[in-house]
Amino acid sequence: MTQDSRSPQDAGPRINGVAAKPPPPTPTTIAAATAASPVVAAVAAAAVGASSNAPPAEEARGGVAAAAAEAPAADLVATGPRVTARPRTLPEICYTLRRKVLAFLDEQIQDAHEDRLLRDTQDQARVSMGVIEEALRRYGPEDISLAYNGGKDCLVLLVLILACLPVAPSFAPSPAFTAATHTTSASVLTSAATSSSPTPAPDRSEPIRAATSQPPPSPPPEPLQAIYIAPPDPFPEVEEFVEVSTAEYHLDLVRYALPMRPALEAYLGDRPAVKAIFMGTRRTDPHSEFLKHFSPTDKGWPQFMRVNPVIDWHYAEIWTFIRRVGVPFCCLYQQGFSSLGGVTNTRPNPALALDPGVDGTKKFRPAYELVRDDEERLGRDR
């Protein structure tokens, strides 16, 4: 396995060290792909939705956030706004996502049940952003990476990380990019650095606030490093979503078709500067019940700091965030898959099964209609 010698700006998806960078999307290629593929359509919606220069009314008419608020989540998978804009730069994406996340943190609804779930999800997001900001203070762009496989949990984590980059000086060297100050609840930072589950709810009187103005022209922030450990039999839909979302979010991603331990060893050999990896692990995942926000790897494993910002999130909170912020997701979730592995060990969740149609075809409700954490992995063999 060879060391990547390209600059971060040129780095794209690679398969075991071999370049596999897709060309940047253009209006023509995205439009054609959108017509042919629901996976590409989902990310095309994010790639060419409202630009950071659009006024709020324009953004509401054409952006992905508007689709989440006004249309069923299926629209985030199968449709997108008219493709007319150029692909967005990383600073534009970071600022757009930060505005959306901060708007989500301010959101209020009247329904008592939905309000409780919304408030719990907002609290989780605040805590996670505190963990992420602490990690970005500890580690620079060369020191930290993201474990990314296109799944719902790491997708939420990715959006939160990008929303925090505008206030991370080491990722944003431009004085203009980091000029705005922010305040974060002391309870958030304390829990981020030291606590394990359950995490105390942060003080809502001091919401996270930071730069939401237009990004400066230069220099751009460093792309976020990422590792994708693919199963031996990946779903084509997942592979496509990882490829397209990697291009949209400007990830410096390396793909390994190896078991987890050898893949991590290879990655740290390729990227010896990496000291920490953001993980989309949740406490309901196997062998994760005792993890903290910052947990070193176990003895006998490649050594790095596991950063677990979403460790205490519940299944329903993950989907509340995705749908209310308007984050495009892999189309398999629309088909009843609630946890994604490989083709041979993953099937639609039986808890989401509908009565067979007149033709006897099995049908399933979408993943976001599942509620209970203990039913999330019913479609997984292991």
Looking at the domain assignment, is residue 45 inside a domain? no
Residue 371 is part of which domain span? 340-382
- Tokens 């980059």 correspond to 165
Looking at the domain assignment, is residue 83 inside a domain? no
Query: pLDDT grade, residue 95 (50/70/90)?
Result: very high
pLDDT (0 to 100) of residue 169: 76
**CATH number assigned to the domain comprising residue 323:** 3.40.50.620
Looking at the domain assignment, is residue 381 inside a domain? yes
Phi, psi of 222 (to 5 degrees): -70, 140
Do residues 166 and 304 share a domain?
Answer: yes
Do residues 117 and 235 share a domain?
Answer: yes
Looking at the domain assignment, is residue 377 inside a domain? yes
pLDDT (0 to 100) of residue 172: 53
pLDDT (0 to 100) of residue 190: 36
Domain boundary among 333, 349, 368: 333
The tally of domains found in the chain comes to: 2
Do residues 361 and 270 share a domain?
Answer: no
- Tokens 């490829």 correspond to 243
Query: What kind and span of H or E run contains 321?
Result: helix 315-325
Do residues 243 and 323 share a domain?
Answer: yes
- Residue pair 97/162 in contact by the 8 Å Cβ criterion: yes
Could you read off the pLDDT of 308-352 as tens digits, one per residue? 999 999 999 999 999 999 999 999 999 999 999 999 999 999 999
Do residues 93 and 241 share a domain?
Answer: yes
Do residues 175 and 140 share a domain?
Answer: yes
Distance between CA 267 and CA 229 in Å, rounded?
10
Token digits of residue 350: 């039986």
Contacts of 263 (CB under 8 A, 6+ apart): 227, 229, 256
Do residues 352 and 319 share a domain?
Answer: no
Looking at the domain assignment, is residue 26 inside a domain? no
Distance between CA 58 and CA 312 in Å, rounded?
36
Q: Which long-range contacts (CB under 8 A, 24 or more apart) does 211-214 make?
A: 211/95, 211/98, 211/166, 211/167, 211/177, 211/178, 211/179, 211/180, 211/182, 212/95, 212/98, 212/99, 212/102, 212/180, 213/95, 213/180, 214/52, 214/53, 214/95
